[in-house]
Amino acid sequence: MAVPPWLTAAGAALAALVLADVLSEGLGRYALRRGLTDRPDVRKAHTRPTPYLGGVAIAVGALASGTVSIPHWDRRITVLVLAGVVVALVGLFDDLRPTHPAFRLVLEGGAATAVVMAGGRIGLFGHWLDPVVTAVWIVVLTNSFNLLDNMDGAAATVAAASGCLIAGAAYLGGQSGLALLLMTLSAGCLGFLVHNWAPARMFMGDAGSLFIGFLLAAAAVMVRVPAGTTARLAELFLFTFVATVDTCLVVIARPRAGRGCFTAGTDHVSHRLRTMGFTVPQVALTLFAIAAVAGLCGVGVAAARLPGILTLAAAATGAAVLVLLLMKVPVYAAPDAAGIPPATASPPGSGGLPFPRAVRVVDAADEPEDRRSRRERGTGSGPGSVLHIDERRK
């Protein structure tokens, strides 16, 4: 008797969750023995060396469970899995030893190009610009999600919500293999979240954030949207809403504050929520809720239940309002006599503690090129990172 598809999906998701949980535990112990840790100092909130190989557990848990369970493979799924492995390895190399940004971008671009050649297209123009725009969009969103990896639980919760809802859209479009792979990705993030919930005992690192960002962005492109170009734009925007808003906020706010877009900063959505008085778990849950609501709307658009143009207009308006409101949150401080910006003022409810004690993050695009990798962010990477802020323990 044939196994019902829902039972196969449930079993694969459960296997991914358990595997990611078990692997996180084992890899954490291995990383501690080998010194592959984010080490504490006076500028960080965590008080003991914390391993940062959680992304490996997520990738192995998701891919092992997903690839074994997918009943029917096609070219798109094969390319997506192989390209995802490449991006995860790029992130792992970056965790273990900092690499030049150009090296990483070239490999990410190659992986995105493979997805495009396998048939993944946004389809805005109907000519040669479409594959270029699609590949660039995938690379940008991959790194945008990497920037979102800046606080305990933030990236994993957003990925769990987004992956599950993109899976729903794929299933409604008859893409059961893609849906199953995304379900195992979401479950793997939940298994890792056991170790990454505040105060985190393990960090995701680039191996996790780049892998997750790439898989979500590429899968969103592969989802079939029958309602046309506007619906496609709405679906892509909604499925990546949190990461897109976070990146837009930084790109707009930093120049207005007289800072470069690619300089380190404690001005992401998560940091601003902390300044408003949110606790670390509340920040993660808030981002999860936003990703879930946006993703549900994305499913509605992909299933032709919501009008593409009106939904896109509403989502863009909501994003603009969020950016404008968050820009009013004071996260920048005047430079001292030497011209060096001081720590951001204490957030409400912090008992007067300086902000860096509450939050830490580093972005791929934010770091100087000669020290680009091993971000010391709330979900953390490796030693020798450039410091942003730490949001692990208060």
DSSP letter at 305? S
Two tokens at 272? 């601003």
In order, the DSSP letters of 190-220 are HHHHHHHSSSPSS--HHHHHHHHHHHHHHHH
What are the phi and psi torsion angles at 325 (to 5°)? -70, -45
Residue 382 has pLDDT above 60, yes or no: no
Return the higher-pLDDT residue of 91 and 266. 91
355-376 mean pLDDT: 37
Q: Whole-prediction pTM value?
A: 0.84
pLDDT of residue 35: 83
Radius of gyration (C-alpha) of the chain in whole angstroms: 20
Helix or strand (DSSP H, E) at 293: helix 280-302
| pLDDT tens figures, 291-334 | 999 999 999 999 999 999 999 999 999 999 999 999 999 988 65
Two tokens at 365? 């695009």
Least confidently predicted of 78-87, 172-181, 338-347, 379-388: 379-388
Q: How far is 54 from 163, CA to CA, in rounded Å?
A: 18
pLDDT > 90 in the chain, percent: 62
pLDDT of residue 46: 57
Residue 74 has pLDDT above 60, yes or no: yes
pLDDT of residue 259: 83
Two tokens at 70? 């997918």
DSSP letter at 127? S
| pLDDT tens figures, 115-145 | 999 989 898 888 889 999 999 999 999 999 9
pLDDT of residue 334: 56
Two tokens at 39? 């080490």
With CA atoms as reference, report the closest residue to 87 among 258, 175, 215, 270. 215
Q: How far is 132 from 335, CA to CA, in rounded Å?
A: 41
| pLDDT tens figures, 144-189 | 999 999 889 999 999 999 999 999 999 999 999 999 999 999 999 9
Q: Helix (H, G, I), strand (E, B), or coil: what is residue 38?
A: strand
pLDDT > 70 in the chain, percent: 81
